[in-house]
Chains A and B, each alone.
Chain A
Amino acid sequence: MDFIQSTDYSQFVSMLPELIVLGIFVIVLLADLFAGDTKKSFLTPMTAVLFLLGTVAIWIVPASGESIFGGMYVNDTMTNAVKAILNIGAFIVILQSAKWVDREDVVIRKAEFFELMLVTLFGMYLMVSARHFLLFIIGLETASLPLAAMVAFEKRHYESHEAAIKYILTAVFSSAILMVGLSFVYAFSTGSLYFDDLARVIQSGEMSGLLIAAIAFVIAGIGFKLSLVPFHLWTADVYQGAPTAVTSYLSVVSKGAAAVTFFVIFTTCFGGVYSDCWEWMMYAVIIATITIGNLFAIRQKNMKRFMAFSSISQAGYIMLGAMAADGRGLASMIFYIFVYIVSNLGAFAVISTIESSTGKLSMDDYNGLHKTNPWLSFTMTLAMFSLAGIPPFAGFFSKILIFTSVTGTGSMALYMLVLIALINTIISLYYYLLVVKAIWISPEEPKIGAFRSDNWSRLALWICVAGIVFFGIVPFIYQYCVDSVSASAGMLGLLN
């Protein structure tokens, strides 16, 4: 594939989703510049509305299905679906951060928050669409570095700074590991970083130590982003220190993008050595991720740390989709990410509403919450049930569909993996029920008084509740995931 011949600037038109996000970014930036220091109140509604319009545009404009720049970048129905889903997550985060960004010491930097978020989203788009390792790295870095600035957004809290330092160091470190892996890949594929070239070499070539090392490094590099065990140690501290809106963004959107990218890289590039090599690495990593995430979550009392460990274990479930390594697995994975976004953001919306109104973050503060805030209690309960995989809520369907896809390969080892995952859902049910217990059963007098949450958070909560209740019962969301994957399956080199 000759890059020089294919530099035709009309190709940029195919990057519609990226252009939309970039456009919103520029508008927000200019609006911020010309608004002056006092008149910032229009920024949140403007960003939210623009963002919503952009999401709808991405959703309804059919994907061109082309791969441009000599195959570096593809825009097909699958990537569009993933981008639209990530957008919904980011949209909910914008809504739930609306009250926080209007706080006295933050409001001056309000637009920056949205800008940074849009930039990271742009990076994630590139990751999802990349079919060349350089573009992938550019996307990854664009997604990671501004996130560190977002983590440090609470200027006056030292935890926030500490978290940012931890985050940037691990991000850079993981990128370095990833680069080493990619340099091995470069050597192995004799001078090409295109996914397709590598796939061809691997299919014809033998297994070698170089390839195994390359795959291990790539798993480690992306594993940091996904906070898979044993690359998860930064997660709890960063989640705790970061502003709650950023934590929720980190836990769903950035994870979702990394998971899909992982799937694409490992099925297209390394698909040839699935059973020889990375199946077993991921097998161990997934078991460790799910189990350790769960076991650590049991002891957490701070809600943000609690959600951090819960999200580690959820990442393990997401990665189960990669073990299926076929179109069905990818569709179930995207569906899982979508359901996870609404469930987790539902929980975070409650946490951030309570935090911004009362400053309380400990699970003990939630004791007897139902007496003062029945609707928040109700939402939290639904979110916990959905995360634990209880029907008729969406989380049940996403879990079962991903288990069904994994067992569909027919291998006994994967049945055992599913069994371990199923048993882990029981452990996770235990700690999710602890929250439910604190809210409904604990006899103590409520520590959080009755308050009225702002309209933005209410909207976020309603979206999440609707998602939790209906995404499972109505089948067309999963159907949409399946359709979008099967329409672009040829591009991914998947069999079905």
Chain B
Amino acid sequence: MFENILIWFVVIPVIMMIGLGLCRNSGMKAIRAVMVVGSTALLALSVVLCCDFLRLRGMGVDDEMLFTGSWLWYAPLNIHLAVGVDGISVLMLLLSSVIVFAGTFASWKINPLPKNFFLWYCLLSTGVYGFFISIDIFTMFMFYEVALIPMYLLIGVWGTGRKEYSAMKLTLMLMGGSAFLMLGLLGIYWHSAPEGGVPTWNILEIAHNSAIDPSWQNLLFCCTFVGFGVLGAMFPFHTWSPDGHACAPTAVSMLHAGVLMKLGGYGCFRIAIYLLPAAANELAWIFIILTGISIVYGAFSACVQTDLKYINAYSSVSHCGMVLFAILMLNTTAMTGAILQMLSHGLMTALFFALIGMIYGRTHTRDIRQMGGLMKIMPYLGVCYMIAGFASLGLPGLSGFVAEMTIFFGSFQNSDLFHRVFVITATCSIVITAVYILRVVGKLLLGPVQDKHHLELTDATWFERLATVTLIVCIAGIGCFPNWINETIQHSFVPIINAIQGAI
């Protein structure tokens, strides 16, 4: 079992948890050592996986999933621990590793109970990694829920502001989504086999059988898409996101907005669309409307907020709406854009939240009306904030541009009036994004200094620089060399597009 490289993505965080368990609560050095070693190992592992994956693809191996492995778990119900990755999952694993790595440094001085914080943080990462490596929908769902519950304590104990309310709201809404999701998955399982066959949880087998009756597909599609859509902050189920992100501690906001919300998009793509293609064709319009609203509504809401974290949380609603919107366009180009957007949004939101955490740690306010001229006081953080902002509004050369352009090109391929109207509306969000980004940059970084005490503040420390540089390098990397990503993921769309075409 352990010869499979993918298993280690779950094993390493578990080892980290055991290591943390052995540390004393006050032994900050030991705790940091465990976290740094573990998250570096994870980052290295994902880079190795990525290179290996590209090497195999370069050799012409064109299986749908590589590095597959399957171990029987609950025999009576045919539950396996099945793993495997395609280009998309590889990139998602890479993204998670980068953010877990950066998050470790962003929470360098976490207080109180550092040991417990990192324990829950590792449990959260276990869930995220497990979700991306699973190709068995039972274990996928299990890891999905593993990733949700630590949020309650992470926000509740280490958060700021109305943390108890936000933590409870976030947990209950996401768990509510997963209730629908579970129903959908049970339906998929019991209908997965052709008449007389043994039902299976394995995604590849289900897709291969394509035995799910169209009358069931519609119900199951709604359940699974709504279930994952809640985590993807789809309107009207997005209300957990602003409160949750605003109250969470820095590293948790980073991980949650950066990776956890991608679980929603990835799940919609891998389960709802891929396994239920007939319903996807038939019902995509409902969710195009909802995600279209998300995009525009999120952007407008961000324009009027004054709390930095709320601005970014609403901007996440808008950008994650874009991911789901692109997936629902059901063509290769738009889906490529969706994956690029997931990566791009993951990195830049993580950067945003890291920077906000650093600024808040110094000024003790997140209200943009009480801050100004920070560029003079902390030039390093100011420049980073600008880069994140430009990535967000789609400046060429950074990741946001590549992602949004691909999405809109792809979406325009659907030539009917309904799609056109919504695509054009969604495109408008680019302008609104520019409005709120430039507004923040103008208020926060430029202009006169609002508070004399701010003049005494210091710029970033070494661990903060390390966290931000890691993220900026990745953002610029995607922006300058998007072809590399394209090559990694292009194989992954073939089976999905075939399934969708076959179901029309």
B-contacting residues of A (Cβ < 8 Å)?
A: 328, 331, 385, 390-392, 396, 400-401, 403-404, 407-408, 410, 415, 418-419, 422-423, 425-426, 429-430, 433, 436-437, 440-441, 475, 478-479, 482
Q: Of B77, B157, B175, which contacts A404 at CB under 8 A?
A: B77
Check B183 against A433 for contact (C-beta < 8 Å). no
The reply to whether B172 and A426 contact each other, CB–CB distance below 8 Å, is: yes
Q: How far is the CB of A387 from chain B (nearest CB, A)?
A: 13
Contact A430/B75 with A407-B186, A407-B190 known, Cβ cut-off 8 Å: no
Known A-B contacts A429-B172, A430-B168, A430-B172; A441 and B156 likewise in contact (beta carbons under 8 Å): yes
Interface of A is mostly: helix
The answer on a CB contact under 8 Å between B149 and A440 is: no
Contact B149 A422 (CB under 8 A): no
B171 at interface by CB-CB < 8 Å: yes
CA of A49 to CA of B182, assembled, Å: 43
> Whole-angstrom distance between the alpha carbons of A404 and B75 in the complex?
13
Q: How far is the CA of A30 from the CA of B417 in the complex (A)?
A: 89
The one of B75, B143, B171, B179 that contacts A419, using a Cβ cutoff of 8 Å: B179
Taking A433-B171, A440-B153 as contacts, is the C-beta distance between A392 and B179 under 8 angstroms? no
Q: Which listed residue (B142, B145, B153, B182) contacts A403, Cβ 8 A?
A: B182
**In the complex, which residues of chain B have a beta carbon less than 8 angstroms from the beta carbon of A400?**
138, 182
Contact status of A391 and B77, CB under 8 A, knowing A407-B190, A429-B171: no
A-chain residues with CB within 8 Å of residue B179 when the two chains form the complex: 419, 422-423, 425-426
Task: Establish whether residues A419 and B142, one from each chain, have CB atoms under 8 Å apart when the complex forms.
Answer: no
Which chain B positions have C-beta within 8 A of A429?
171-172, 175
A331 B142 Cβ-Cβ under 8 A: no
Known: A433-B168, A433-B171. A390 touches B186 (CB 8 A): no
B352 at interface, CB cutoff 8 A: no
List B residues 141-159 near A (Cβ within 8 Å).
Answer: 142-143, 145-146, 149, 152-153, 156-157
> With an 8 A cutoff between CB atoms, is B64 at the interface?
no
Bound-state CA distance A385–B152 (Å) is 11
Closest CB in chain A relative to B344 CB, distance in Å: 30
Closest chain-A Cβ to B122's Cβ sits at a distance in Å of 13
| Docked CA distance A391–B178 (Å) | 12
Q: Tell yes or no: B269 within 8 A of A by CB.
A: no
Q: B145 to A396, Cβ gap below 8 A?
A: yes
Within the complex, the shortest CB–CB distance from A462 to chain B, in Å, comes to: 15
Residue-wise, chain B 160-184 has the 8 Å CB interface mask toward A (1 for contact) of 0001100110011001100110110
B2 at interface, CB cutoff 8 A: no
In the bound assembly, the distance between CA atoms of A426 and B180 in angstroms comes to 11
Q: Is the CB of A404 within 8 A of B186?
A: yes
Determine if A415 and B142 form an interchain contact, defined as CB atoms under 8 angstroms apart: no
Please give the distance in Å from A127's CB to the nearest CB on chain B: 26
Q: Which residues of B come within 8 Å of A, CB atoms?
A: 73-77, 138, 142-143, 145-146, 149, 152-153, 156-157, 163-164, 167-168, 171-172, 175-176, 179-180, 182-183, 186-187, 189-190
Whole-angstrom distance between the alpha carbons of A270 and B475 in the complex?
66
Q: Chain B: interface secondary structure?
A: helix
Residues of A within 8 A of B182 (CB): 400, 403, 422
Using Cβ atoms and an 8 Å threshold, which residues of chain A touch B76? 328, 331, 478-479, 482
In whole angstroms, what is the CA distance A415 to B188 when docked? Answer: 12
Known: A408-B190, A415-B183, A436-B153. A401 touches B74 (CB 8 A): yes
Question: A392-B146, A404-B186, A415-B186 known; 20 other A-B pairs, CB under 8 Å?
Answer: A328-B76, A390-B145, A391-B146, A396-B142, A396-B145, A407-B190, A422-B180, A423-B179, A426-B172, A426-B175, A426-B176, A429-B172, A429-B175, A430-B168, A433-B152, A433-B171, A436-B152, A437-B156, A440-B153, A441-B167
Cα of A440 to Cα of B152 in the assembled complex, Å: 11
User: Nearest chain A CB to B137's CB is how many angstroms away?
Assistant: 11
Residues from chain B with a CB closer than 8 A to the CB of A415 are 183, 186-187
Q: A479 and B75: CB pair below 8 A?
A: yes
CB pair A419 B145 closer than 8 Å = no
Tell me the bound Cα distance from A267 to B26 in angstroms. Answer: 57
Tell me which of B146, B157, B179, B189 has the highest count of chain A C-beta atoms within 10 A of its own C-beta. B179
CB-nearest residue of chain A to B153: A440
Contact between B183 and A422, CB atoms less than 8 A apart: yes
B153 partner residues in chain A, CB cutoff 8 A: 436, 440-441
Asked whether B73 lies within 8 Å of A475 as measured between CB atoms, the reply is yes
CA distance A403 to B138 in the complex (A): 13
A440/B168 in contact, CB under 8 A: no
Measured between beta carbons, the chain A residues less than 8 angstroms from B190 are 407-408, 410
Complex CA–CA separation, A479 to B76 (angstroms): 7
Q: Which residues of B contact A430 (CB under 8 A)?
A: 168, 172
Whole-angstrom distance from the CB of A251 to the nearest CB of chain B? 24
Provided the pairs A331-B76, A403-B182, A430-B168 are in contact, do residues A391 and B189 lie with their beta carbons within 8 angstroms? no
Q: List 13 A-B contacts (CB under 8 A).
A: A403-B182, A404-B77, A404-B189, A415-B183, A419-B183, A422-B180, A423-B176, A425-B175, A429-B171, A441-B157, A441-B164, A475-B75, A479-B76
| Complex CA–CA separation, A385 to B148 (angstroms) | 12
Are the C-beta atoms of B164 and A437 separated by less than 8 Å? yes
The 10 A-B residue pairs with the shortest CB-CB distance in the complex, in nearest-first order: A422-B179, A441-B156, A482-B76, A407-B186, A391-B142, A390-B149, A475-B74, A391-B145, A426-B176, A391-B146
Complex interface: chain A residues within 8 A of B74 (CB): 401, 475, 478-479
CB neighbours of A328 from chain B (8 A):
76
Chain A residue nearest to B183 in the complex (CB): A419
Query: Complex formed: what's the CA distance from A437 to B157 in Å?
Result: 9
For B75, B146, B149, B153, the residue with the greatest tally of chain A CB atoms inside 10 Å of its CB is B149
- By beta carbon, the residue of chain B nearest A430 is B172
For the complex, what is the distance from the CA of A419 to the CA of B138, rounded to whole Å?
17
